[in-house]
Amino acid sequence: MPKKIEQSVKNAPASSNWFALQKKLAPSTKSRRNSPERKRRKVDHTEASSVPGPSSTTVDVEVPASFPRGHHVPVLTTSNEELDFETHESRNGESIATLRKMIFGKLEYTSNHEAPGKYLALDCEMVGIGLDGEESSLARVSLVNYYGAVLLDEFVKQKERVVDYRTQWSGIRATDMIKAKPFGDVQKNVAELLKDRILVGHAVHNDLKVLLLSHPGPMTRDTQQLAAKHKVTKSNRPALRNLVKQELNATIQGGEHSSVTDARATMAVFRLHRKEWEKGNRPPTPGGWASARKRKGREEDEAEGQPAESKTKGRPKEFPGGGKRGISSGLSTIEKRTKGGDKSHLKQLSSADGQWWKNLGGGAKGSLKWSG
């Protein structure tokens, strides 16, 4: 081919057939975007940027080539596999390893450790109802004892249609509602377990509000308020996950929440500071605070270790007419008589100061007679 013709062919614009051939031969941008290598790198990047720290782990996830809009593909785990569960470290008399095991359910309980005991930790999970799922409705309630043993973990049946299960935060799915119980039954069980016991919770007023329950203030320990009061953190309203990370170097709530895990974590934080936070708080007594007040009244009336006859010893003798010997009632009767002999205007005035009162008859002369 002559050089002039060859040069003109090179400078000529590409034809549509050439573009079609290149499209078939070269890998598409979409296929490169869905390649396993690119997906793995993306997962690693998300892992490193979202939850830094030794407790996070990188997971290879089998991601489909295409999925419907809004589909959430979980790529992050919070297994805390690198967390040291065998450390010999202790604080305030509590083993850090034991508290970590309690949070993540790695403890084996004896029958003694499964009893309700004196302290119970409460946590609740919510789902969305109403317009756009903006209203919250109680969906799960969990109670654990001082050692983290589960005493109650119930799903609550919904009266309205659930618009948003909030699974990425609540961990609740539609299948969980199959075994759900009526709200009244769950509320009654919670109230019976909490009776005469100390309630531990994080911002626990929110949990009591959705349960439509109340609990005596002296019997309530709110870890959020206590942590702020005792300057455990700089925040006045510290989040539970931040407290657990700071105090136990454990990560919770990194993905789907669990009310059991959160209740155990709340109890772990409380146990770590219990000796300091319980200073000045009286322990609960059998029969509750009402019976304690009655017993206190009886103890004040009775002399400890003395017979009943000696209780009146040294007290002023009381008389049937009222009053006591040597003590004036402070009242006397002033009888006023006028010149005409008319008896009227009987008054009672205070004579405790022992002074004589003048005639109050509007200037009329009369006599004062003390008949008290």
In the predicted model, is pLDDT for residue 322 greater than 80? no
In the predicted model, is pLDDT for residue 231 greater than 60? yes
Instruction: Tell me the pLDDT band of 38, cut-offs 50, 70 and 90.
Output: very low
Answer with the residue of higher pLDDT: 275 or 309.
Answer: 275
In the predicted model, is pLDDT for residue 315 greater than 90? no
For the chain, what is the mean pLDDT?
A: 73
Give pLDDT, residue 301. Answer: 52
pTM of the model: 0.59
Instruction: Tell me the pLDDT band of 11, cut-offs 50, 70 and 90.
Output: low
In the predicted model, is pLDDT for residue 154 greater than 50? yes
> How far is the C-alpha of 111 from the C-alpha of 174, rounded, in Å?
34
Least confident of 1-5, 244-248, 302-306: 302-306
Instruction: Tell me the pLDDT band of 83, cut-offs 50, 70 and 90.
Output: confident
pLDDT digits (tens, 9 = 90+) for 259-307: 999 999 999 999 999 999 999 776 555 555 555 555 555 555 544 444 4
In the predicted model, is pLDDT for residue 253 greater than 90? no
Give pLDDT, residue 309. Answer: 46
Give pLDDT, residue 9. Answer: 54
Least confident of 16-25, 122-131, 161-170, 184-193: 16-25
